[in-house]
Structure 1
Amino acid sequence: MSTSIKAVLKPHVRDIGNLAVRRVLPAMAARLVGPFIFFDHMGPATLPAGTGLDVRPHPHIGLATVTYLFEGAIMHRDSLGSEQKIVPGDVNWMTAGRGIVHSERTPEPERMNGSTVHGIQTWVALPLADEDAEPSFEHHPGATLPEVERNGVVLRIIAGQSFGKTAPTRTFSGTLYAAAHFSPGSALALEPEHEERGVYLVDGDLSLDGVPLDIATMAVLIPGETITLASTKGATVMLLGGEKLEGERFIEWNFVASSREKIEQAKLAWTNQEMGKVPGETEWIPLPERKPR
């Protein structure tokens, strides 16, 4: 292992609404990387005609969900009345704050014809001052996200500030989140611009200071070190991290909070169906019997 790598996180496979995902965060070796407390790699998966992704209405508190696709399309609906189709290159940022409910489904045209789904969904834990913020939703088309080219590596800044560019996405603390597309034979010096950093290999080949990283694996980096990322045949890589959050965060099911009490309150509110409804939806996911992670 490179001396610049603090930990290497392997994925666990989970099922969400007819789709298998590879979950890297939270992990025993790193519960958070900057504000990122949850990281799912969806697909790539082929959904036959007549089927699709069906994540029924469910709640969140204390976090923001961030969705970014490489292939396919997802329809987002939430209890604020938002209805937004996301396609590759776009970003959906939903701030749960004190509480929100949403669903994610394959849009009808793609459901009828069959489709491929491939993307990343992350959760960003909110700072203490913002964990009870008013819920909100924003969508940014890919054309509005800044891009940077460095030595054959094209970086799309999804959220936060990095490589001299700032994404239009609202953030609540210092954030690094970018999709990096490496051409064959390219390399990138990842400087310690942010306090905590993670590197996730979506596809292709990648080495960190000469040490290979497996596909669907995240390397958590040592703070303060510049590390060279290089690809021989080309790669798609997610760079994430940012400012370390103050205090501890608890996570149970879809809830993130600075105290167990907040999570228990949210569980009761969801059981009593007091967190809002998603217009046009009649289903909802019951609270599971599960121990805290």
Structure 2
Amino acid sequence: MSHISTADIEQVILPSSRDLGGFSVRRALPAPMRQMVGPFIFLDSFGPVRFGEGEGIDTRPHPHIGLSTLTYLLEGELTHRDSERYVQAIRPGEVNVMVAGAGIVHSERTPEHQRATGGKLAGLQSWIALPKKSEETAPLFQHLDAGSLPTVSGEGIGMKLLAGNLHGRQSPATVFSDLFAAEVHLEAGARYRIDGEHVERAIFVVAGALEIVGQDGNFGQDRLLVFKPGSEIVVKATGPARFLAFGGEPLPEKRFIRWNFVATDQERIRHAADLWRERGFPGVPDDDEFIPLPENFR
């Protein structure tokens, strides 16, 4: 077995996997060895899954506080509905940003036209913890078409900036702290530089395999690589590859995460849980199902 030098890699994380009724979800953050990268406190990769006729995904209405969700689809389509009365389809290449702040309830379901014929679904969803001063901000929703997102292409590289700032470009996504999230495609042999402009940085390999220039080792699909602050990272694709690069300035306060709630104060989470238990959150119009708190929630 060859020696693997990881001089610029702080951690390599293999996500935990769970099967949600035939629907595979891989959770890279939070992990036992790492809670956050910058303000990112949660990262799920889901699918690819193929649905037969009459089948689909039904994520029933559930609440959030203290965070923003960033949803990006690779295949398929979902319909978002929330308690602020937003109804929005999301398709590959588009971004949905949902700021929970003081509290929001939402559902995500396969649209009826796709459910009728069957289809595929794959994507990424991250949660971004809000700064302490913004935890109770008013909830809002933002949809970004693919054409509104900054891109960089050339020399075998295709980069789409989903949120935040990177390489002098700024995404129109609503954010509350210093961060970035970008989808990157590399042709075989292409190299992509991740400068040290953000304190914490990581990549999640969506497809293909990557090398980190100057280091031994090859990192394949579903690996999360967290880099050391300040290091200059050059990613090289051993074949066609696709990954999510993300990170930012770490938030100064500890974050607690329980079920769908994120906060700097555990009492705030207990209050949100009591409110949900008592049906005190606003409902989602035209979607009145209810997910109870987990049995072990105290």
Q: TM-score range by the shorter chain?
A: over 0.9
Q: Is the 8 A contact 1:24 1:40 kept in 2?
A: yes
CA-CA distance at 1:16 after TM superposition? 4.7
Q: Counterparts in 2 of 1:192-203, with a 5 A limit?
A: 192-203=196-207
Q: Counterparts in 2 of 1:176-215, with a 5 A limit?
A: 176-209=180-213, 210=215, 211-215=217-221
Q: Is the 8 A contact 1:19 1:42 kept in 2?
A: yes
Structure 1 ranges of 4+ moved more than 6 A? none
Q: Counterparts in 2 of 1:81-92, with a 5 A limit?
A: 81-92=85-96
Q: Counterparts in 2 of 1:27-46, with a 5 A limit?
A: 27-46=31-50
2: CA distance between counterparts of 1:223 and 1:150?
27
Q: How many residues align?
A: 292
Q: Does the residue aligned with 1:213 lie in a helix, a strand or coil?
A: coil
1:149 aligned residue: 153
Aligned AA (1:96): A
Aligned AA (1:78): D
CA RMSD of aligned residues (A): 1.3
Q: Counterparts in 2 of 1:29-68, with a 5 A limit?
A: 29-68=33-72
Q: Does the residue aligned with 2:218 lie in a helix, a strand or coil?
A: strand
Q: Is the 8 A contact 1:179 1:238 kept in 2?
A: yes
Q: Does 1:168 align with 2:152?
A: no
Q: Does 1:129 align with 2:110?
A: no
2:254 aligned residue: 248
Cα deviations by residue, 1:66-123 (Å, 9 ceiling, x for unpaired): 1001100000000000000000000000000010000000011111111100100000
CA-CA distance at 1:193 after TM superposition? 1.1
CA-CA distance at 1:214 after TM superposition? 2.3
Q: Does 1:286 align with 2:292?
A: yes
Aligned AA (1:68): Y
1: CA distance between counterparts of 2:65 and 2:22?
24
TM-score after normalising by structure 2: 0.95
1:21 aligned residue: 25
- Give unmatched runs, 5+ long, in structure 2: none
CA-CA distance at 1:161 after TM superposition? 0.2
2: CA distance between counterparts of 1:66 and 1:289?
27
Q: Is the 8 A contact 2:208 2:220 kept in 1?
A: no
Aligned AA (2:255): R
2:120 aligned residue: 116
Q: Does 1:219 align with 2:230?
A: no
Cα deviations by residue, 1:189-231 (Å, 9 ceiling, x for unpaired): 2111101001110001111224311210100000000011001
2: CA distance between counterparts of 1:189 and 1:85?
33
Q: Does the residue aligned with 1:149 lie in a helix, a strand or coil?
A: strand
1: CA distance between counterparts of 2:118 and 2:210?
32
Percentage of identical aligned residues:
42
2: CA distance between counterparts of 1:231 and 1:44?
22
CA-CA distance at 1:289 after TM superposition? 2.1
CA-CA distance at 1:237 after TM superposition? 0.5
Q: Is the 8 A contact 1:201 1:217 kept in 2?
A: yes
